[in-house]
Amino acid sequence: MTTADELLRGVVHCENRERLSERLERGDSLRIKFGIDPSAPDIHLGHLVPMRLLRRWQLRGHLPVLVIGDFTARIGDPTGRSVTRPQLTVDEVEANAQTYLDQLFCVIDRGQAEVRRQSEWYDGFDLVAVLRLANTATVAQLLQRGDFDQRMRSEQPIGVHELFYPLLQGYDSVAIRADVELGGSDQLFNLMRGREVQAAYGQPPQDIVTVPLLEGLDGEKKMSKSLGNAVAVADRPTSQFGQLMSLPDPLITRYLSLLTDISENDLARTESELQQGLLNPRDAKADLAQQLVSMLHDPAQANSAREEFFRVHRDRDLPSEIPEVAVSMQNRWDIRELLLAAGLAKSKGEAARLVQGSAVQLAGERVSDWRQPVALHPGAVLQVGNRRVVRLIPS
RNA sequence: GGGCGGGUACCGAAGUGGUUAAACGGGGCUGACUGUAGAUCAGCUGGCUUUACGCCUACAGGGGUUCGAAUCCCUUCCCGCCCA
């Protein structure tokens, strides 16, 4: 495999591939731009896809230039949104950026990267500069972007400031003299715009590389925290494991190929075994989850997360660690009050409904009627369903 | 500035005077089953209580009409589109 093949494996779009391959083969050291959106500090598995590729480039001697979008974060990237995001304060953005970088540097080498902030060049941007930048594109060109076009047609609002987003992001490439820009495939328009902006400022246009967007746990929409279908990098191992086990079966191989170092052969084998029913999807998913948790934390924690999961969900055992809640040890508890006190229900009405739906167990016994008072013994386990479990201790 | 269309529960979306705490879908929770928090099927999904078709809160805010309003009127605020 050539260097270019290796560095472009799995990419969705590459522009201009010939030129880029040539430069890679020649061994040029390239400045590869990677934009960071500090409006969302929580990195999830979806972010890992470009980051892993960035790491491969870094290992080949190219320099990641991390551009913190501290300025555009205050605008809100309209990508895929029908509603404008709330604008963030400078402090919030800075705190988010720091969190983001800390997590990013778990994947790429901090020493071999450059970190830049948009505010370096935008804080001094005056109106003349703004108009010059605006003059690099026409409204029609900007409206070609898919989501703008869609919003126009469905009579949704488009803020003028949103129109500037691609231009500002494009100018970042001018400011840092990017040779290549890496991003998710939803960024294609913005990245392409960067080429035009650079050309307008007399720079050679950057090459661009886009990677696939990872689908979230719902199996449909792209992974995003606000959609609630994301696995956060910083989340606890047991929680990550469980979330990954809820992944729809068809996505198993997708995750394997985008998030692990699995070889083409092994991937093909797993795929066909799943198809022929030789491999239980549950086990394939457990292996995947274990691998990913190992990567995000460490193998030992991944292993115990796996054991814990099977213990609770397959074998229907109690979790090994049960949070304790102190309550008074009276003999005639109203089960609704008890559920409320234990934090397992938000209201008495909800508590009554849970009991009615036979979800509640106290000391291993199913509670069938909320009208019946219950007696309590120290250390009794109260649970709602399989996952919400609490041990009651005397207060 | 003019015209038109909107603001309903976590989200989307019905409902244009009364059995509406509000259809339906999504999401969430739970149960059965099992291959897992996956699939499928089922139930639940405002609060409180003496669990009762009892009370309270709720259909952007305020005021009014009415025995009775998410539904009618007035007014304020917010949003969208079109024309200038």
CA of A331 to C1' of B58 (A): 38
CA dihedral A145, A150, A153, A155 (to 10 degrees): -110
- Chain centroid to Cα A10, Å, comes to 19
Separation of A154 CA and B6 C1' (Å)? 14
CA-to-CA distance for A325 and A239, rounded, in angstroms? Answer: 21
C1' of B65 to CA of A294 (Å): 69
CA A298 vs CA A285, A290, A293, A305, A326: distances in Å:
18, 10, 7, 11, 33
Please classify residue A337 by burial: count the beta carbons closer than 10 Å to its beta carbon, then call 0-12 exposed, 13-18 middle and 19+ buried.
Answer: middle
- Give me the mean pLDDT over the A80-107 stretch: 74
Distance A248 CA to B40 C1' (A): 14
pLDDT-based confidence at residue A164 (cuts at 50, 70, 90): confident
Q: What spatial distance separates the first Cα and last Cα of chain A, rounded to whole Å?
A: 66
Between the CA of A49 and the C1' of B66, what is the distance in angstroms?
63
CB neighbour list of residue A288: distance below 8 Å, 6 or more residues apart? A244, A247, A252, A255, A256, A260
Q: What is the structure's pLDDT at A26?
A: 84
Is it true that the peptide bond before A16 is cis, omega within 30 degrees of 0? Answer: yes
For residue A230, give Cα distances in angstroms to A158, A173, A180, A283.
27, 29, 28, 21
Confidence class for position A202, pLDDT limits 50, 70, 90 = very high
CA distance A71 to A163: 15
Query: For residue range A284-336, what is the model confidence (pLDDT) as tens digits?
Result: 999 999 999 999 999 999 999 999 999 999 988 999 989 999 999 988 999 99
Rounded Cα distance, A30 and A33, in Å:
9
Determine the nucleotide nearest to A240 by Cα–C1' distance.
B37
Q: Can you tell me the distance from the alpha carbon of A163 to that of A175, in angstroms, rounded to the nearest whole number?
A: 20
What does residue A208 show for φ and ψ, rounded to 5 degrees?
-130, 150
What SS3 class is residue A395?
coil
- Of A160-169, A266-275, A306-315, the poorest mean pLDDT is in A160-169
Q: Is the pLDDT of residue A85 over 90?
A: no
The C1' atom of B61 and the CA atom of A85 lie apart, in whole Å, by: 25
pLDDT at res. A161? 79
Closest residue, by C-alpha, to the C1' of B45: A350
Nucleotide with C1' nearest the A281 CA: B35
Identify protein residues whose C-beta is within 7 angstroms of any atom in strand B. A 155-158, 218, 228, 238-239, 241-243, 245-249, 280-282, 285, 309, 313-314, 336, 346-350, 352-354, 357-359, 370, 384-388
Nearest nucleotide to A238 (CA to C1') is: B37
The pLDDT of residue A148 is 77
Q: Is the pLDDT of residue A155 over 80?
A: no
Query: Strand B nucleotides below 7 A of a protein CB?
Result: 27-31, 35-39, 43-49, 51, 79-82
Q: What pLDDT, on the 0 to 100 scale, is given for residue A83?
A: 42
> Which residues contact residue A205 at a Cβ distance below 8 angstroms, ignoring those fewer than 6 apart?
A194, A195, A196, A198, A199
In contact, A381 and A321? CB cutoff 8 Å: no
φ, ψ at A63 (rounded to 5°): -105, 110
Q: CA–C1' span, A349 to B55, in Å?
A: 15
Cβ–Cβ under 8 Å, residues A84 and A76: yes
How far in angstroms lies nucleotide B41's C1' from the CA of residue A278?
27
Query: Nearest nucleotide by C1' from A239 CA?
Result: B37
**What token pair was written down for A297?**
């934390």
**Residue-level pLDDT at A30:** 92
* pTM summary value: 0.85
A159 CA to B75 C1' distance (Å): 30
Give residue A81's pLDDT. 43
- The region of weakest confidence among A59-63, A159-163, A307-311, A320-324 is A159-163
- Identify nearest nucleotide to residue A385 by CA to C1′ distance: B30
- Give the count of beta carbons closer than 10 Å to the beta carbon of residue A392: 25
Nucleotide nearest to A241 (CA to C1'): B37
